[in-house]
Chain A
Amino acid sequence: MKKIGKIIATEKVPTTVDEFFFWTDKHLVLKPFDVVKVEHIRSSVTFGVVEEISHLTDGASFLAGYISSDFGEVEAKSNTQRIGMNYVKAKVVANSQNIYTPVLDGYTVSLANEEDVKQALGLKDIKNPLPCGVIEMYEDEDKITVPVHFNSHFLIGPEGAHLNISGISGLASKTSYAMFLLKAIQEQYIKNNPNESVAFVLLNVKGRDLLAIDETNDELTKEDKQVYKDLDIDVSPFKNVKYFYPYSKDVRTTTYADVKDVASQKKLNKAFQYKYLFEDDKESLDLLFSNIDDPTQSMESIVNYIISGEGVFNGVRNWEELKDEIKKHQEKGDTGKDKTISVLSWRKFYRLFRKTLERNKDLFSNSIKKENAEVRLQDSIKQIKKNDIHVIDIAKLDEESQGFVFGDVMRAIYDLKLGQITDREESEIPSKVVIFIDELNKYGSKDVPKNSPILRQLLDITERGRSLGIILFAAEQFKSDIHDRVKGNCATHAYGRTNAIEISKPDYQFVPPVYKSMLTRLKQGEYILQNPVFRSLLNIKFPRPLYKQFKNG
């Protein structure tokens, strides 16, 4: 392979077990994350990943530069350029014979080929391979592209689970990356895994993002298709997709989807409208108040009071009656109410409840017409089949209702996986369920009240979901906002483009400075990945999504 420089070890900057330095020609284009290899003792080869590149001349000070231009003459020319070179700091990632003594001064450094890169980064002979993108390395004629695979056991269990994707809106394409991985998972399970199975529940939180994932993307370029082929992923959209829209008589009020699209999906029997019935869903009432600060736990008391059917609530049969009863409780002079809860608390509860109910009159309903493709969300999810994808649209709901639906979905999956469903054979239930939620910060941020039932549910999933087969794929703009236990339990982290304020947070302390500034420059479709199987952070690229994209959201 092309030789590019030699190791430098000096008194002040020695080579170590972890890192080494080498010089290269100042015109050679290298970039952070490129892999280089170095000859080492006993005919072994040490591999390093480029971390920093610096340019150095023999100029002793800035002043020497100024003086060298005839004391500040911008036009001054010289016959000789100051002697200069680039020196590169690289992190040791592997040695072909597991010899980790420091590489020696004067040894030759060269570029790596595809095989070397795989060996260096631990991408060789990966068990249960699952494509996660490609690495592009070097420039011009030296350029190589290496497909990268996860060990799926470290992404969706049982060894490690949960994925966290962070990056700023639009530029990071978090949803696209999550969908790229989901597509790879679905395909792998359809093709190769007869004993295990997976199902997906996706929450659509923005526009029409995920409302046509079983339709083809006509704008896919040749290059994108080639990348899919290289990664052995079929160039086709998702299969077995069902869409769940919030119920309303006029679809337009609760979803961003086109009315015609919803109608045609309904015709094909893959779109449904979900509703909440008082009798079945009153237990989930607490989810409506998950983002309300409740230091005295009075909201929680009221919810328990209602759910357990105490007092007059025993006779309540629908949402409207419930509202009326609560209204009575918040009025002065009512004698029948529980004395432990103050009128003020009832008033607050009433205000919040009424607001949600009035906004979503149709969603909180009394009955379901199955022939009209109306469903109860919990029931549908509990019936999810292997390789099914359920897309639940919550984009147009208000924040409280969004939380309510998300919490409800999580509970349904939890029940399903905990064996709370009596009418299904164990073997029919998918062994893994992957939940994808964007804007995790709404539910799992550090600012969410500690007693929030949704946060509790999230913590349950991230901490115990791996063994149950519930896997969370979550995305957010700023990782630093997310609850430590939620992100701490994710085995895989994908970092998309972010901003300078974010990278100054402690979450990024382990990232070397050059990679940090790279994080602020990443292009769309580029991610920095961290996974237990990889020996270092990887800078990967992935192609455009395979499903229909809506330009205006």
Chain B
Amino acid sequence: MEKVLDIVATETNGKCYTSFRYCADEEIRVPTLDFDTKDKEISVVVREFGETDTDLNTSKNLKLLANKIINDEPLFQFFLDGSRRTYKVDDIEINRNVYPIIAGQIGVACCQRINASQFKSVKDGFEHNLVLSLPKAANPNGGDSTLFFNALTSKVNKTKRIEKAGINFSKILSYDSKKQDDGKKYEHLGIATIQDEMIETEKKIVAYLSTKNLIRHDRYLIKDGSLQYKPMRTGDFRELTRIKNHYKCAVGISKMFNPELCQDRTGKSNADKIAKLPLYHRTPAMKYKSEIVGNVFFAIWYVRIRETERTSSPFSGVLKLEKILITDDELENGLNSEEVDLITANIINERNPVCYGTDSRWANHLYPVYLTESFIKSKYLSDLNFLNLF
């Protein structure tokens, strides 16, 4: 029976080494922006306020507001998460160079909380894609590689092994096969393409939710991770500036952030202030612009949802919240402070239940996001099963 890798080798005039296959992921999922980005590029502070209340200099307690609204309909009804699992399936020799073949499973899901006890996956809000990532040099013809990789995808999907399993690869991605100067590994480049594909899928689903009017001013979306998407070279959603209107009612929540990069309006590090942030307090929102994203401004603030004494480090229990500034008014004056408070209070009310015991990041995790993540993972093919497709 012809194998997937045989086809890849034949079509690319390469030679497969049948090397050891393994799952390339680390135990903890790598945060969204870890690849080919330099630390200093993540967020650049603009010396302006990110919210309308300019008197707030230290922090603000939102427990009272949170208590007041606990019996109301929660603001957040939709939860979006994306995840991918990558594998190094083989090495391939093309023109005397050896490149890794990277494969991946990408899962993106949006779940809706209908009421406290009903949590469902949104219809058409779930995607599970299998992809391969090959070096650009794999295209033997030169010219437009898209056509070549598309044709290769359908050939791969016609192998008996894949057909029998009732699955198919949605895309073959390609990574740069030029010699990398700064010691970057091809493997990482391959993984990065899969990561990009995941982000693309996330954007697609947010656009779907927004155009279908599912997310609106009283039914917000929580997106797991940062909203600072870097522009892509391809795809329908390549630039955030063009699609930012879909994010009117979306908040990005990061469990993990680099405290060294936290700066206040004056450009000084405020990592200590965040570490000392009292329980249920939020920092003032600051206005940021990200170089990698382009001409998009964000309001970013932090909130502590767990007591420092109960957590393992000063930063666990603190969440980083991001919202894109969209209207002219927002761009000029920052987010309305009332909205910032309301979002924060709602986040505080999302603190329970916890996934203590099942996820080491429990102190920073929000349960509905955790459920969405679990839902995606439950849909993955097992590593063993996936690796044996090749």
Seen from chain A, the residues whose Cβ lies within 8 Å of a Cβ on chain B are 26, 58-61, 63-65, 67-71, 76-83
Please determine whether B358 and A80 come into contact, CB atoms closer than 8 angstroms.
no
Please determine whether A78 and B119 come into contact, CB atoms closer than 8 angstroms.
no
Please determine whether A68 and B354 come into contact, CB atoms closer than 8 angstroms.
yes
Set A60, A63, A78: member contacting B352, Cβ < 8 A:
A78
Residues of A within 8 A of B351 (CB): 70, 78
Please determine whether A82 and B356 come into contact, CB atoms closer than 8 angstroms.
no
Query: B261 CB to closest chain A CB, in angstroms?
Result: 30
Please determine whether A79 and B310 come into contact, CB atoms closer than 8 angstroms.
no
Query: B357 CB to closest chain A CB, in angstroms?
Result: 3
Residues of B within 8 A of A64 (CB): 353-358
Residues of B within 8 A of A70 (CB): 351-352
Please determine whether A79 and B354 come into contact, CB atoms closer than 8 angstroms.
no
Query: B238 CB to closest chain A CB, in angstroms?
Result: 34
- B284 at interface by CB-CB < 8 Å: no
With A58-B374, A71-B310 already in contact, the answer to whether A80 and B355 are too (CB < 8 A) is no
- B32 at interface by CB-CB < 8 Å: no
With A68-B352, A71-B310 already in contact, the answer to whether A80 and B357 are too (CB < 8 A) is no
Please determine whether B356 and A80 come into contact, CB atoms closer than 8 angstroms.
no
Among B314-368, those with CB < 8 Å from A are: 349-358, 362, 367-368
**Bound-state Cα–Cα, A83 to B378, Å:** 14
**Bound-state Cα–Cα, A78 to B116, Å:** 8
Please determine whether A60 and B356 come into contact, CB atoms closer than 8 angstroms.
yes
Query: Beyond A60-B356, A79-B350: 12 further Cβ-contacts under 8 Å?
Result: A59-B357, A60-B355, A70-B352, A76-B352, A78-B353, A79-B74, A79-B76, A80-B116, A80-B368, A80-B371, A81-B117, A82-B367
Residues of B within 8 A of A82 (CB): 353, 367
Q: Taking each of A69, A76, A80, which has the highest tally of chain B beta carbons within 10 Å of its own beta carbon?
A: A80
- B60 at interface by CB-CB < 8 Å: no
**Bound-state Cα–Cα, A79 to B117, Å:** 9
With A64-B353, A68-B354 already in contact, the answer to whether A83 and B119 are too (CB < 8 A) is yes
Query: A10 CB to closest chain B CB, in angstroms?
Result: 12
**Bound-state Cα–Cα, A81 to B368, Å:** 10
User: Which of chain B's residues has its CB closest to A73's CB?
Assistant: B352
Set A61, A68, A71: member contacting B353, Cβ < 8 A:
A68
Contacts A/B (CB < 8 Å), 6 sampled: A61-B357, A77-B349, A79-B74, A80-B367, A82-B353, A83-B119
User: Which of chain A's residues has its CB closest to B71's CB?
Assistant: A77
With A58-B374, A83-B119, A83-B371 already in contact, the answer to whether A78 and B357 are too (CB < 8 A) is no
- B113 at interface by CB-CB < 8 Å: yes
Residues of A within 8 A of B151 (CB): none
Query: A315 CB to closest chain B CB, in angstroms?
Result: 91
With A78-B349, A80-B368 already in contact, the answer to whether A68 and B117 are too (CB < 8 A) is no
With A80-B119, A81-B117 already in contact, the answer to whether A69 and B357 are too (CB < 8 A) is no
Residues of A within 8 A of B307 (CB): 71
Among B101-115, those with CB < 8 Å from A are: 113
Please determine whether A58 and B352 come into contact, CB atoms closer than 8 angstroms.
no
- B56 at interface by CB-CB < 8 Å: no
**Interface of chain A, main secondary structure:** loop
Q: How many residues in B have their beta carbons less than 8 Å from beta carbons of A?
A: 25
Residues of A within 8 A of B353 (CB): 59, 64-65, 68, 78, 80-82
Please determine whether A60 and B349 come into contact, CB atoms closer than 8 angstroms.
no
With A77-B70, A79-B74 already in contact, the answer to whether A63 and B356 are too (CB < 8 A) is yes
**Bound-state Cα–Cα, A59 to B354, Å:** 8
Residues of A within 8 A of B350 (CB): 78-80
Query: A6 CB to closest chain B CB, in angstroms?
Result: 14
Query: A85 CB to closest chain B CB, in angstroms?
Result: 11
Residues of B within 8 A of A81 (CB): 116-117, 353
Residues of A within 8 A of B76 (CB): 79
Residues of A within 8 A of B371 (CB): 58, 80, 83
Please determine whether A79 and B356 come into contact, CB atoms closer than 8 angstroms.
no
Query: B109 CB to closest chain A CB, in angstroms?
Result: 14
**Bound-state Cα–Cα, A83 to B368, Å:** 9
Residues of A within 8 A of B356 (CB): 60-61, 63-64, 67-68
**Bound-state Cα–Cα, A79 to B307, Å:** 20
Query: A26 CB to closest chain B CB, in angstroms?
Result: 8
Query: B251 CB to closest chain A CB, in angstroms?
Result: 15
Residues of A within 8 A of B367 (CB): 78, 80, 82
Residues of B within 8 A of A79 (CB): 74, 76, 113, 116, 349-350, 368
**Bound-state Cα–Cα, A61 to B368, Å:** 19
**Bound-state Cα–Cα, A64 to B351, Å:** 13
Residues of B within 8 A of A60 (CB): 355-358
Among B73-120, those with CB < 8 Å from A are: 74, 76, 113, 116-117, 119
**Bound-state Cα–Cα, A60 to B354, Å:** 10
Complex A-B, nearest 3 residue pairs according to Cβ-Cβ distance, in ascending order? A60-B357, A68-B353, A78-B352
**Bound-state Cα–Cα, A372 to B362, Å:** 91
User: Which of chain B's residues has its CB closest to A71's CB?
Assistant: B310
Please determine whether A67 and B354 come into contact, CB atoms closer than 8 angstroms.
yes
**Bound-state Cα–Cα, A82 to B357, Å:** 14
Residues of A within 8 A of B74 (CB): 79
Query: B364 CB to closest chain A CB, in angstroms?
Result: 14
Query: B256 CB to closest chain A CB, in angstroms?
Result: 20
Residues of A within 8 A of B119 (CB): 80, 83
User: Which of chain A's residues has its CB closest to B374's CB?
Assistant: A58
User: Which of chain B's residues has its CB closest to A78's CB?
Assistant: B352
Query: A72 CB to closest chain B CB, in angstroms?
Result: 11
Residues of A within 8 A of B357 (CB): 59-61, 63-64
Query: B242 CB to closest chain A CB, in angstroms?
Result: 33
Residues of A within 8 A of B358 (CB): 58, 60, 64
Residues of B within 8 A of A83 (CB): 119, 371
**Bound-state Cα–Cα, A60 to B360, Å:** 12
User: Which of chain A's residues has its CB closest to B72's CB?
Assistant: A79
Please determine whether B113 and A80 come into contact, CB atoms closer than 8 angstroms.
yes
**Bound-state Cα–Cα, A82 to B356, Å:** 12
Residues of B within 8 A of A58 (CB): 355, 358, 371, 374
Residues of B within 8 A of A78 (CB): 116, 349-353, 367
Query: A12 CB to closest chain B CB, in angstroms?
Result: 15
Residues of A within 8 A of B113 (CB): 79-80
Query: B373 CB to closest chain A CB, in angstroms?
Result: 12
User: Which of chain B's residues has its CB closest to A58's CB?
Assistant: B358
Residues of A within 8 A of B354 (CB): 64, 67-68
User: Which of chain B's residues has its CB closest to A66's CB?
Assistant: B356
User: Which of chain A's residues has its CB closest to B363's CB?
Assistant: A67
**Bound-state Cα–Cα, A63 to B350, Å:** 19
**Bound-state Cα–Cα, A79 to B116, Å:** 6
Mark B258-299 against chain A: 1 for CB-CB distance below 8 A, else 0. Answer: 000000000000000000000000000000000000000000
Query: B111 CB to closest chain A CB, in angstroms?
Result: 10
Query: A500 CB to closest chain B CB, in angstroms?
Result: 34
Residues of A within 8 A of B349 (CB): 77-79
Query: A58 CB to closest chain B CB, in angstroms?
Result: 7
**Bound-state Cα–Cα, A63 to B355, Å:** 10
User: Which of chain B's residues has its CB closest to A82's CB?
Assistant: B353
Residues of B within 8 A of A67 (CB): 354, 356, 362
User: Which of chain B's residues has its CB closest to A77's CB?
Assistant: B70
**Bound-state Cα–Cα, A78 to B374, Å:** 19
**Bound-state Cα–Cα, A58 to B359, Å:** 11
Query: A207 CB to closest chain B CB, in angstroms?
Result: 53
**Bound-state Cα–Cα, A288 to B76, Å:** 84
Among B35-83, those with CB < 8 Å from A are: 70-71, 74, 76
User: Which of chain B's residues has its CB closest to A61's CB?
Assistant: B357
**Bound-state Cα–Cα, A83 to B369, Å:** 12
**Bound-state Cα–Cα, A60 to B367, Å:** 13
**Bound-state Cα–Cα, A76 to B351, Å:** 10
Query: B222 CB to closest chain A CB, in angstroms?
Result: 11
**Bound-state Cα–Cα, A61 to B356, Å:** 8
Q: Taking each of B349, B353, B371, which has the highest tally of chain A beta carbons within 10 Å of its own beta carbon?
A: B353
User: Which of chain A's residues has its CB closest to B359's CB?
Assistant: A60
Query: A473 CB to closest chain B CB, in angstroms?
Result: 50
Query: A356 CB to closest chain B CB, in angstroms?
Result: 70
**Bound-state Cα–Cα, A79 to B353, Å:** 9
